[in-house]
Copies of this chain bind each other. A is one copy, B any other.
């Protein structure tokens, strides 16, 4: 038998646009045909997209996706195409009350769908992820439930599909994304497919980027192909999709794995391309082709994900211009540089909005950043307007119509700080609209954790590009922008050097007072509280503190805890302050925060889901607290 030519169509999938995806897929089929591809793979749910919210409940949309799927089948003369789409069973009811829906793979060859095991002419996804951003069970019926319903063992449904290429039969074991991530599921799908005689495995994915994900994927998929002695193809899309609150980034990185587990080749990240490889059935292996082996070297995963995610999201919602409030601090400097990289300097408007509390230093740094980036820049002071608000609010005569008495209100220092922050949104929102664009929210993850931002003030914006980055990652990204992306010091060194300060009062201005957050410590504390597997709680933190193990456990500098906190009482006070905010008012703020470009495995938004609850402490917490505070340290 001659070699069989496989290809992955690593396309950008536009969520909710089966019309556009259909056109893109047609042209990919044409390209594949011209390069003699025998079997062409598309990603999971390539026609509809994956993160669609409850568009999945719109019957007319489902009908259309099915029709486009049929048209795709008709386009497979002389080529075998395996693609992800929604599979419908109108005779059965879905648990959401609509018509039965499956997250399905279709195998089409010579204008016909190949026959598959089970009652449908498509293959079903079995492992349904329902954690993080995923809600497969909300929309899709699983093969697990179908097997119970039909009283058929699951192993009978999970059969490879026999594709005949030039008279030779290859049995392809098709998986959909999570089917290949077997860790937390009872059923080992690749093993079942192998037991049922698959010659090779294909994984059609719509698998989001997260930091270090590809390392984990290589580990799992390598082990899988090695253990089962089967070559494996991973076909993933590029683009961004979103669930409202999280901008989910797809890096593609489609790959071919040999049956011995080695990674043969990987498509470049974020590149719309066809990754091709020949398969030799006799040796059950792919034939290396040097042209295919592209690896992304010397780039920063973080920068790629954040800039691609922000760029693609703005493109999808049709925004081409951005205004950024520029304070002279690191967060807005990084946001400004990112948007200049994404949209071009001519489409970025940087606005410095000083009050009496802004230092000469930060004002001068703002100007330098604008100059260095070659962006549009203006200065609009807020002194007058803020004073006007103070006066209006304090002189307003309020009449109580129950008692027929009169009173006025007084503004606290905190009230005044929030008025300043909101006054900047007054300017930024108005100016962005007049400029023909939107404006950026420059909040980072550390601030978002404890709600260190003002509602309708610096919390506002169309997108939070660095909202999933801890403060130390914002600095890292700033350095990378200088050193690699711009190859010059667009963000001045002093921006990295000054202690972060909100500059909202005379006590809190650069050179005088800094943020109440001490990033070297709190970055790590907050990360332990919301990113690690067991979600560290105050009782566990106190226990670690009491045992002197906290720094090691949360990964911050040795000795830092005692430097910051002279005694247990101050440690406890700090912990409770932030825990109360994290689980209290900060939740309310996050509920109204903009979408966040998601790069971690636990991002605020609909990834890490939250209700507004009362702050809770474990009985154990009170015990340890009592013990700690009764001893003078």
Identify the A interface with B (CB < 8 A): 14-19, 49, 51-55, 57-61, 63-64, 67, 93-98, 128-131, 135, 137-138, 144-145, 148-149, 183-186, 241-245, 313, 316-317, 345-346, 349, 370-371, 373-380, 384-385, 388-389, 392-394, 396-402, 407, 409-412, 414-415, 418-419, 422-423, 425-427, 429-431, 433-435, 455-456, 460, 462, 533-537, 539-540, 587-588, 590-595, 606, 608-614, 616, 618-620
Contacts and interface: CB of A to CB of B under 8 A. Distances in A.
21 contacts: A14-B614, A15-B611, A51-B611, A52-B611, A53-B608, A54-B610, A57-B535, A59-B534, A93-B183, A98-B534, A135-B609, A244-B587, A370-B399, A374-B402, A376-B399, A376-B400, A389-B426, A389-B427, A414-B433, A415-B434, A592-B593
Given A19-B616, A148-B186, A456-B425, A97 B131 contact: yes
A595 B612 contact: yes
A591 B492 CA distance: 35
Contacts of A389: 385, 426-427, 430
Contacts of A613: 15-17, 49, 52-53, 55, 316
A533 B54 CA distance: 11
Contacts of A149: 186
B431 A130 contact: no
Nearest to A93: B184
A149 to B, nearest CB: 5
Given A402-B374, A616-B17, A537 B611 contact: no
Contacts of A18: 616
Contacts of A396: 378-380, 431
Nearest to A137: B137
Nearest to A529: B58
A245 B591 contact: yes
Contacts of A94: 184
Nearest to A381: B392
A392 B427 contact: yes
Given A15-B613, A184-B94, A376-B400, A393 B130 contact: no
Contacts of A346: 400, 402
Contacts of A137: 128, 130, 137-138
A595 to B, nearest CB: 6
Nearest to A431: B393
Given A591-B595, A611-B243, A184 B456 contact: no
A611 B425 contact: no
Given A16-B611, A95-B184, A537-B58, A411 B430 contact: yes
Nearest to A435: B409
B95 A610 contact: no
Nearest to A54: B609
B60 A539 contact: yes
A455 B429 contact: yes
Contacts of A620: 60, 64
A422 B537 CA distance: 39
A594 B619 CA distance: 33
A380 B241 CA distance: 43
Interface centre among A53, A57, A186, A609 (most CB of B within 10 A): A609
A451 to B, nearest CB: 13
Contacts of A462: 588
A41 to B, nearest CB: 25
Contacts of A409: 431, 434-435
Contacts of A131: 95-97, 138
A430 B401 contact: no
Given A60-B540, A145-B144, A429 B434 contact: no
Contact of A591 (B60, B244, B430, B431): B244
Nearest to A621: B60
B130 A96 contact: yes
List the 8 shortest-distance A-B pairs measured between CB atoms, nearest first.
A16-B613, A409-B434, A60-B537, A53-B609, A137-B137, A96-B131, A374-B402, A53-B610
Interface centre among A18, A375, A429 (most CB of B within 10 A): A429
A129 to B, nearest CB: 8
Interface centre among A375, A398, A539 (most CB of B within 10 A): A398
Given A374-B401, A422-B429, A53 B611 contact: yes
A437 B278 CA distance: 68
Contact of A184 (B96, B431, B534): B96
A61 B430 contact: no
Contacts of A591: 244-245, 594-595
Contacts of A398: 349, 376-378
A148 B153 CA distance: 10
Interface centre among A349, A430, A540, A595 (most CB of B within 10 A): A430
A397 B385 contact: no
Given A15-B611, A346-B400, 12 more contacts: A14-B614, A19-B616, A60-B535, A64-B618, A64-B619, A135-B138, A378-B397, A378-B399, A393-B427, A425-B456, A426-B426, A591-B595
B145 A138 contact: no
B377 A399 contact: yes
B392 A418 contact: no
A549 to B, nearest CB: 16
A624 to B, nearest CB: 12
Nearest to A68: B619
Contacts of A14: 614
Nearest to A454: B429
Contacts of A435: 409
